[in-house]
Amino acid sequence: MSELPSPDEFLSKIDHKPSPTGWMDTPVEIRRGIACHAAKPDRLEYVGFPNPRDWSCFDEDWQLPENWQEILHKGFKERLDRFRSVKIFMDICVRCGACADKCHFFIGSGDPKNMPVVRAELLRSVYRNDFTTAGNILGLFGKKAKKAYGARELTLEVLKEWWYYFFQCTECRRCSVFCPYGIDTAEITIFGRELLNLIGLNIDWIAAPVAFCYRTGNHLGIQPHAYKDMIDFFTDEIEEVCGVRVKPHFMKKKADILFITPSGDVFADPGTFTCMGYMMLFHFLQEKYGLEITWSTYASEGGNFGFFTSHEMMKRLNAKMYAEAKRLGVKWILGGECGHMWRVVHQYMDTMNGPADFLEEPVSPITGTKFENARSTKMVHICEFVADLIKHGKLDLDPSRNDHLKVTFHDSCNPARGMGLLEEPRYVIKNVCNHFYEMPANTIREQTFCCGSGAGLNAGENMELRMQGALPRLNAVKYVHEKHGVNMLSCICAIDRAAFPTALEYWLPEVDNCGVHELVANALILPGEKKRTVDLRNEPLPGMEDEDDE
Residue 169 within binding range of ligand SF4, rule CB under 6 A:
yes
Closest CA to 399 of 431, 364, 439, 360: 431
Structure letter (DSSP) for residue 256: S
Q: Which is nearer to ligand SF4, 364 or 453 (CB)?
A: 453
Quote the least distance from Cβ 95 to ligand SF4, whole Å.
5
- The stretch near ligand SF4 (CB under 6 A) out of 50-58, 165-173, 422-430, 494-502 is 165-173
CB 332 within 8 A of CB 257: yes
d(CA 340, CA 171): 10
Which residue from 108, 112, 116, 302 is in contact with ligand SF4, where contact means CB under 6 A? 116
Residue 527 within binding range of ligand SF4, rule CB under 6 A:
no
Residue 91 within binding range of ligand SF4, rule CB under 6 A:
no
Residue 174 within binding range of ligand SF4, rule CB under 6 A:
yes
Quote the least distance from Cβ 9 to ligand SF4, whole Å.
24
Q: How many CA atoms lie within 13 A of 227 on its CB side?
A: 26
Q: Which is nearer to ligand SF4, 172 or 338 (CB)?
A: 172
Which residue from 122, 175, 325, 333 is in contact with ligand SF4, where contact means CB under 6 A? 175
Transcribe 273-304 into DSSP letters: HHHHHHHHHHHHHHHHH---EEE-SSS-----
d(CA 37, CA 28): 17
Residue 171 within binding range of ligand SF4, rule CB under 6 A:
yes
Closest CA to 412 of 351, 310, 341, 479: 341
Residue 119 within binding range of ligand SF4, rule CB under 6 A:
yes
256-294 residues labelled b (16+ CB within 10 A) or e (exposed):
bbbbbbbbbbbbbebbbbbbbbbbbbbbbbbeeeebebb
Quote the least distance from Cβ 171 to ligand SF4, whole Å.
5
- The stretch near ligand SF4 (CB under 6 A) out of 97-105, 234-242, 244-252, 476-484 is 97-105
Which residue from 11, 30, 96, 137 is in contact with ligand SF4, where contact means CB under 6 A? 96
Residue 340 within binding range of ligand SF4, rule CB under 6 A:
no
- The stretch near ligand SF4 (CB under 6 A) out of 143-151, 178-186, 340-348, 510-518 is 178-186
CB 259 within 8 A of CB 294: yes
Q: How many helices (H) and strands (E) does the chain have?
A: 25, 8
For the segment 189-248, give every residue that binds ligand SF4 (CB under 6 A): 189
- The stretch near ligand SF4 (CB under 6 A) out of 183-191, 362-370, 460-468, 523-531 is 183-191
d(CA 487, CA 485): 6
Q: How far is CA 411 from the centre of its chain?
A: 11
Residue 172 within binding range of ligand SF4, rule CB under 6 A:
yes
Quote the least distance from Cβ 541 to ligand SF4, whole Å.
39
Which residue from 44, 123, 151, 183 is in contact with ligand SF4, where contact means CB under 6 A? 183
d(CA 103, CA 115): 6
Which residue from 13, 16, 53, 95 is in contact with ligand SF4, where contact means CB under 6 A? 95
Q: Which is nearer to ligand SF4, 103 or 207 (CB)?
A: 103
Residue 107 within binding range of ligand SF4, rule CB under 6 A:
no
Cis previous bond, 248, omega within 30? no
Q: Helices (DSSP H) in 243-381: which residue ranges?
A: 264-267, 271-289, 311-328, 340-344, 350-353
Three-state DSSP at 373 gives helix
Q: How many residues bind ligand SF4 (CB under 6 A)?
A: 27
Quote the least distance from Cβ 377 to ligand SF4, whole Å.
24
d(CA 121, CA 119): 5
Which residue from 44, 122, 154, 186 is in contact with ligand SF4, where contact means CB under 6 A? 186
- The stretch near ligand SF4 (CB under 6 A) out of 185-193, 204-212, 426-434, 509-517 is 185-193
CB 184 within 8 A of CB 85: yes
Sheet containing 488-491: order of strands:
407-410, 488-491, 512-515
For the segment 308-337, give every residue that binds ligand SF4 (CB under 6 A): none
Residue 170 within binding range of ligand SF4, rule CB under 6 A:
yes
d(CA 413, CA 448): 7
Q: Which is nearer to ligand SF4, 28 or 268 (CB)?
A: 28
Residue 117 within binding range of ligand SF4, rule CB under 6 A:
yes
For the segment 397-456, give every residue that binds ligand SF4 (CB under 6 A): 450
Q: Which residues bind ligand SF4 (CB under 6 A)?
A: 93-99, 102-103, 105, 116-117, 119, 169-175, 179, 181, 183, 185-186, 189, 450
